[in-house]
Every structure is written in C-alpha cells, then in structure tokens.
Chain A
Amino acid sequence: MISPFTYFPGAGRGFQRLVSNCWLLCLFLLSLASVGHAEPSAANNAEVEMGRKIYMEGMRPSGESLKGMRQSSVQVEGATAACETCHRRSGMGSLEGNIVVMPITGRFLFATAENRPLALVDPREAKNVTRAHAPYNDESLGKAIREGINVSGAKMSPLMPQYALTDVEIKAVSSYLKQLSSDLSPGVGESSLRFATIVTPGVDPQKSKVMEDMMRRAFEQRNASQQTYSGRMRSPLDLLPRTLRNWELTVWVLEGAPETWAAQLAEKYRSEPVFAVISGVSTTTWAPVHNFCQQEKLPCMFPSVALPPVETGYYPLYFSRGVTLEAEVLAKHLRSEDKSVPKRLVQFYRDDEVGRGAAKALTDALKDFDIKIENRALDDKDLAHLKNTLKDISSKDAVMLWLQSADLTAVSKAAPKQVPAVAYVSGFLAAENYSFISKAWKPNVRVVYPYELGAKREKNQQMMKGWLKTWQLPLVDEAFQSEVFFNVLFLTDLSSQMLDNLFRDHLIERAEDMLSFGSNVSAYPFLGLSRGQRFASKGAYIARFGKDGKLGADSEWLVP
C-alpha cells in the first residue's frame, strides 16, 4: 500500500519501524534540549532596531551602507551585504550550493551544552546538522564578523564576508540575534501543531469536502506514523510523554461578502491560532485572505485559487498567477502566431471578480497589439439568454471563454451554428469539463492549459490516484485534488527538514529553497520557487483536442 504520509513508506517493515523510532527519539532529545531554553533577555529596543537595520537592510547606524570584504576587497555592499542575504530572515541560515550558512540566532550562537538546539542545515546530507561549539559572546561574535574566525578558532568559509563593525554595532547585532526566532510561532502547542485550511463562499461543496477529507486523512496518517513504535525502543519514549506534536487541522469556512472576511478570519484566528494555512479554495477573490496572511505573518501555502492578488507578499505562496498567467500566455501566443490572427477577440466572462480580473489581464497583455477586443460580461440573466449574446459571432472572430464549467454548459446550449475562427478556453476555470464543446466547435477550440499533458501527467498523478483509492476518497477534480495532495506531502517534507525549529519565517524559507526537490506529484509540469518568488508554476500550454478526443499540446510550454 502506498502511504506517503508515514515517514518511511515503501521501505521494508523492519526499517520502517526502526526509523520511525529514531525519529521519535530524535524529537524526544530535542524536547529535552528545549527544557533549558532561556527566556530572551529584554534587550533595549533601540539597540535591537539598530541591529535589525544591519541584519536586514545592510544599513549602519550612521546611515552608511554595510560593506562586506572578501579577499581583502569590498565585495558586497548594502542589501547584498546584509546578514539576511545568507542567514535569512529567520536567522536559521540556508544552504548555498555545498556551503552551509549557519543558523545564527541567539538560541544557536549563545547556547551552552545543556540547551543547544539542533537544526538540519543540509537536508541532502544527514550528518549536516548544526555542529556543537562553545557559546559565543560579544567578543567572539565580533571576531567572527570582523575577521571570519569562528568561536572554535577556525577560519570560516570565504563566503562569509568580513565586516569592519564597531563594538556598538556588534552589540546591536548581538541584541537583534538574541530576540530573533526566539519564541516558537503561534499555532505551535506543547503537543500540537495546528494548521487551518480556508473555504470561501460559493465553492462547490463536493470540492471543499474532498479537500477536507484528503487533508484529514493525510494528517491522521502522518500522526499515526509518529505514534507507532515497537517494543525495543519503547522505554525511553515512555519516560517523556508528549514529545511529539500532533498535526491538527481546522477548517475556516468564510461566509458573506468578501469585505467581511477579514473580521471573520481575525475572529477565527484569535480563538484558534494556527501555524500556517495549508491549501484552501476559492472560486472568487482571495485578496482578503492574502492580506490577512500577510498582516499576521501567517504562511498561506498554495491555495487553489484562480485569481491571486497581483501584488505579492512574503507569506502567501501560490501555485501560479492563475487566470492572469493564462491571459499573458495567450497574449504571447497570439503575438507569436505567424498566421494571421483574427481581427476581433470577444471575451466572455462572468461578471465577477475572477471574470473581470481575467478579462482585464488579457486586455492589458494585448495592449499595442493589432486586435480589437470586445468584452461581454455575463450575469445569471445573460447566461440564461446567451443566444442573443452569441449570435453576432462569426467565423472571422476569436472568442475567449473565461468561464467556469457550469457556465460553459450554458454556452454550449446557446452556441450558434457559426463556428468562430478560434475559441480559447481557460484551463483553470474549465476544470477539465469540456463536454460543452460540440463536434462542430471542437477543431477550433484551444485550451490555455496551465497543467502538464499526456503521459507525463498520467505518471505524476498515479501516486495520488493510488492513495485516493486506498482511502476510498473520490476523484472529483484531478488538478485541484493534486494541489491538495502536493500540499500535504510538501508540508510533511518541510516539517521533517525543520526539526523543532518551528518558526514561520523558516517555513517560508524552506519552501523557497526546497520546492523543486523530490518527484512531481502535482498536475503542473514543474514547481519551483526561489528567494522572493511566490508563484511556483510559471507558464502554460496552448492545447487542442486530438483525433482521440484527448487534449494535446499545440504549442511549447509558454512562459510570458
């Protein structure tokens, strides 16, 4: 049986047990370590702020920009010299090629043998956990920063620049580091780690149910894998109960108008703080959720939404830019078409947030391009009387259908005999429902398709399908469910890398760095993030129906 949420699937039973024990023990030891964790000293605010400027912005208190030396010449300056560049916002460090950038928060730098935390600095190399060293003090910290000599007296990697900072500045950096990532983030309980998922109004209940069911099942599986242990290793574990944090899921169902969501979210969050929001689904706007996540510094990991806000934040991560991406891909395609492009493009869209957003994105992307764009915003009444709206479409026109599957069915009923030169369909919105397309239209339909196609797609989705079958969960919407599936797997992966360093900024950093690890279980051809990137999939195909009735690529993977 495939059970990806246990830590050691596929491996032999014995190994499986052995390793899960090790994992448990590992956490057990970590929790021992955290018992002695000292309260961060209440450092002088001004000093911390001075340290923050140096650390985050590469700005010295004099207003001068920070300069980092390597091989006795200035190599980095200002923002690129800022400690954050390498040690990251959380202070938990990073991995640059084969070079480990150490975590340098107070917990790590100033720890003594009894309270030393542990971090996995290189998930590819098991032995690469943080090394033990004597506790730093301001003097040895100064030596590390100024001369590149660490507390053990060793010369550090030349990647770490040397900075001519004053004693006052070293002290400020030290104060900043002492309070950085010192308390575990909200949502982290003594024995629980809580996550939320979010459903906005108007979502097909079948979809929200299958999302919740999948997540609950995955969480249960993951928790169970943490609890099972065999006889041999039992006793040390029995000594210390609650060494493990159980993953808990809460579903935040939003109601009413989007303007009221912020207050609902705040209320839910107050009564049940969560560490992160995982998945989530909306068929309309997502902006209030996005803003809430950003404001609360709450990671919001890869919701299934068609229209993420254009302005990116730090905490919300997305699979892609949704319909905006599709619009830009279509524009790129039209611009690159050698054949003559129709003179008129008529956009049909539902008169809602997503529809208007999509239509506007395409209009913007085709600015200065020789095509006449006409917009037909449809409400329920229009959709009931589509024949009128459609009747002037001729075989010289291109149409773009920014419509969800239910609305597409209405189009098919009203479709005129006249087949447009080409009819583009949004792959995100259609959600694989192409039954509306008549035989006459089929050869002229092109789907702007943001997912993988063909055999590769089949292969990538196999694992989820097997998993769904095992747990007798329905397959309602493959691309959507594979987003949920990706999320829970990725979370498992991230949490295993983070060990007990449950800081939200660190979660985001790990997500940025590690996204493209492992094989692909999503419907997308490739998911990858990097520093500052917030959209993991960056292109789409133009696809058409083949003789076998299946969608196939009619363009290369287009990245606008």
Chain B
Amino acid sequence: MTDNDQILGLINLRKSLILSAFIIAFSLVRPVLAEESINMEHKPDAPSFTRSTATYNVPDVAVIRQDGKKLSFIKELDDGRPVVMSFVFVSCSAICPMLTHVMSKLQTKLDQEKQQAHLISISIDPESDTPAKLTEYAKKFGAEPGWDFYTGTRAVSLSLQKAFNTYRGDKMNHTAVILMRSKPGQPWLRVEGFLSADAVFQEYSALSR
C-alpha cells in the first residue's frame, strides 16, 4: 500500500472533499440547483428486492455455534438439508432485526408446512458476538431448533462473507441478503433487498420443487 492510499484510507476524506467540491460548485453557481442535484438517493419505483443464482466456493473453516461447539462450517452446510442463510450481527439495529425477523417468520412457515430446512445466521461482528450473545439473540427472535447462529474468529467470518460475496468492507456496510440452496451441490439462490417472509417462502418453495 502506498502512503497516499494509506493516508486517504485512513482519514477517509477523499469523499468528503468531493462533497465539498460538489456543494461549492453548485452552490456558487445556482444554489437551488445544488438541492435538486443532491436529491437523488431514493428511487421509489425500484423493485424492493433482486434475485440471482450463483455458486460459491466455501472455505473449510471452523465456526463456533451458539451452544459453544466448534464445528466445520462445510459439514454444517452439507448435512443434506436445504439451507437458508443470512449474515447478521447482534448490535445492528435496523437491517439485521428486519432480516432476522423474516428468518423467524420463515421458520414458522416451514414448520407449518412440515419442511425441514437448516436456517443459518452468521455473525459479521464475531469478536463481540460470543456464543452466549448469539443464544440470547436467537431467543429474542424465537429461533427454534433447526436455526443456528455461528461465530468464530474475525478471519473466519471475513472469509465466509467474502466467499458468499456479502463482504462490503465493514460491518456497517452490509446489505440485506438471504441465500438459499435446496441441497448440497446445487447453486445458491441469492435474494437481496426488502423481503417479506412470504416472498422468501415462495422463493424457497420454488427452489425445492
């Protein structure tokens, strides 16, 4: 890494600089324009989620389950059951609760339909999310047997996030992604965005049909 990179990355200012340049450029010329130009972050008609299929190379790493057991992640994944997976962290306040809520409702639905799937939630803040904290989190969302939460070292969590292309550089940058797969060896369905449990269940059912 060069000094420049290091320093820019470090102070993370480049963007604020462009920001300043941006505001100034517009404000000086025609202040009203600045406001219009800045107003571009929400597109009301955008679909609330996207879907895609992908295969991922999953590293053979050791993870720790909410009960404290150290396990091979590949084995946990490939036990034959269909898998529904999300990445979350306990201290995340908006997106994760939403995702986890969807997972929770999905589990209820799957139970009603007598479907056996393995629900997996992986911590992206593993040094904080100890097995005890994950157990508490699971309880808060009414997780039943069949839904497991995993933590591990930072390196392990990072390698899993990277393997499933959910790594966004920082835990604050995560997006709402649910991954599912009907059985080992099959490609993954990746849904990203705002999902209802019903929509996820439909996607899941289509997958295992």
Contact = CB atoms under 8 A, between A and B. Distances in A.
Interface stretch (B17-25, B50-58, B73-81): B17-25
B1 interface: yes
B138 to A, nearest CB: 15
B12 interface: yes
Interface stretch (B93-101, B111-119, B142-150, B183-191): B93-101
Contact of A26 (B20, B35, B41, B172): B20
Contact of B94 (A7, A96, A538): A96
Contacts of A514: 12, 172
A526 B154 contact: yes
Contacts, number: 182
Interface of B: 1, 3-13, 15-24, 27-28, 35-42, 44, 48, 89, 91-95, 97-98, 101, 125, 127-128, 130, 153-154, 168, 170-176, 194, 196
A131 B18 contact: no
B200 to A, nearest CB: 12
Contacts of A242: none
Nearest to B39: A131
A491 to B, nearest CB: 10
Contacts of A18: 21
A34 interface: no
9 contacts: A22-B24, A25-B24, A125-B15, A126-B15, A157-B194, A159-B94, A236-B28, A518-B12, A538-B127
Nearest to A559: B127
Given A120-B19, A463-B7, A8 B94 contact: no
A530 B21 contact: no
A2 B98 CA distance: 44
A531 B10 contact: no
B184 to A, nearest CB: 29
A516 interface: yes
Contacts of B18: 126
A123 B15 contact: yes
Nearest to A520: B10
A21 B16 CA distance: 13
A489 B7 CA distance: 10
Interface stretch (A49-57, A98-106, A337-345, A500-508): A98-106
A244 to B, nearest CB: 13
A220 to B, nearest CB: 17
A530 B128 contact: yes
Contact of B171 (A10, A26, A516): A516
A80 B23 contact: no
Contacts of B3: 2, 10, 463
Given A463-B3, A528-B127, A530-B89, 17 more contacts: A4-B7, A10-B4, A19-B17, A19-B20, A22-B20, A26-B20, A76-B97, A80-B97, A95-B172, A96-B94, A98-B175, A129-B23, A157-B194, A493-B13, A519-B9, A526-B154, A539-B127
B93 A129 contact: no
A365 to B, nearest CB: 14
A418 interface: no
Interface string A97-127: 1111100000000000000001010011111
Contact of B10 (A4, A94, A99, A130): A4
B48 A158 contact: yes
A29 B27 contact: yes
A296 B95 CA distance: 32
Given A97-B173, A127-B22, A127-B38, A519 B6 contact: yes
B17 A10 contact: no
A317 interface: no
Contacts of B130: 559
Contacts of B168: 97
Given A99-B95, A132-B35, A530 B40 contact: no
A283 to B, nearest CB: 27
A40 to B, nearest CB: 24
Contact of A29 (B9, B23, B35, B98): B23
A459 to B, nearest CB: 8
B176 A97 contact: yes
B94 A101 contact: yes
Contacts of B154: 526, 557
A456 to B, nearest CB: 12
B95 A97 contact: yes
A75 interface: yes
Given A22-B24, A101-B94, A75 B17 contact: no
A516 B205 CA distance: 39
Interface string A2-37: 101001111100000011001101100100000000
A-B complex: 3 closest residue pairs judged by Cβ atoms: A132-B35, A22-B20, A126-B19
Contacts of A123: 12, 15-16
B89 A127 contact: no
Contacts of A98: 173, 175
Interface string A525-541: 01010111100001100
A2 B71 CA distance: 46
Contacts of A158: 48, 194
A132 B16 contact: no
Contacts of B171: 516, 528, 530
A293 B108 CA distance: 46
A101 B4 CA distance: 32
Nearest to B35: A132
A86 interface: yes
